[in-house]
């Protein structure tokens, strides 16, 4: 399942069956999210793929913050085990990002690890962690790391999750 083409499109690809896959509004027609339930041998897990607007000045920062604030509501109706994945356009230190985590009851899968994912063109110490895997408290993180470049200005994030 994917939204539109372009820089704010979101795709959700899975080797396992997806049910109830739908595009949901994130507050902006040009920046939607995708929501689905993934069927696994250990039971269902809800998945929300997101890409809130990028920051850059007062009005764009406000748009990004509104997109982040919409995320907890989009988890309604998903299984109690769920995750949010995507380019959140916010570091773990951003107040709006932290407020969203608290309201949604999510944990950053990276926890204390520094996983700078953007921009790939800069040396590792100059990148910032804006791409995230966020998990409900019933999901454990066995492994998480950034992956190799693949033509994007973002590094991919790989996570092994258990429940």
Which pLDDT belongs to residue 31?
80
Q: Across-strand partners of 162? A: 140
Q: Of the ranges 2-6, 79-83, 136-140, which one carries the lowest mean pLDDT score? A: 2-6
At 44, is the pLDDT very low, low, confident or very high (cuts 50, 70, 90)?
A: very high
Nearest to 48 by CA among 76, 90, 89, 8: 76
Task: With a cut of 70, say whether residue 23 has pLDDT above it.
Answer: yes
Q: Does domain 18-162 have CATH number 3.60.10.10?
A: yes
pTM of the model: 0.93
Are residues 23 and 8 in contact, defined by beta-carbon separation less than 8 angstroms? Answer: no
With the C-alpha atoms ordered 9, 10, 11, 17, is the resulting torsion angle positive or negative?
negative
Which pLDDT belongs to residue 128?
96
More confident residue, 48 or 9: 48
The domain limits of the chain are 18-162
With the C-alpha atoms ordered 6, 16, 26, 91, is the resulting torsion angle positive or negative?
negative
Q: What are phi and psi of 4, to 5 degrees?
A: -90, 165
Averaged pLDDT of the chain: 92
């Amino acid at each position: 399942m994917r939204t539109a083409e372009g820089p704010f499109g979101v795709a959700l690809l899975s080797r396992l069956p997806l049910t109830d896959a739908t595009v949901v509004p994130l507050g902006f027609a040009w920046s939607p999210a995708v929501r689905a339930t993934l069927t696994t041998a250990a039971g269902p897990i809800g998945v929300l793929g997101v890409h809130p607007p990028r920051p850059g000045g007062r009005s764009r920062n406000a748009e990004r913050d509104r997109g982040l604030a919409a995320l907890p509501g989009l988890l309604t109706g998903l299984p109690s085990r769920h995750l949010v994945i995507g380019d959140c356009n916010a570091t773990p230190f951003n107040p709006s990002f932290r407020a969203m985590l608290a309201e949604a009851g999510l944990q950053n899968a990276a926890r204390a690890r520094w996983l700078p994912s953007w921009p790939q063109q800069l040396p590792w110490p100059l990148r910032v962690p804006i791409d995230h895997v966020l998990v409900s408290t019933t999901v454990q993180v066995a492994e998480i790391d950034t992956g190799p470049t693949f033509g994007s200005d973002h590094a991919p994030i790989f996570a092994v999750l258990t429940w």
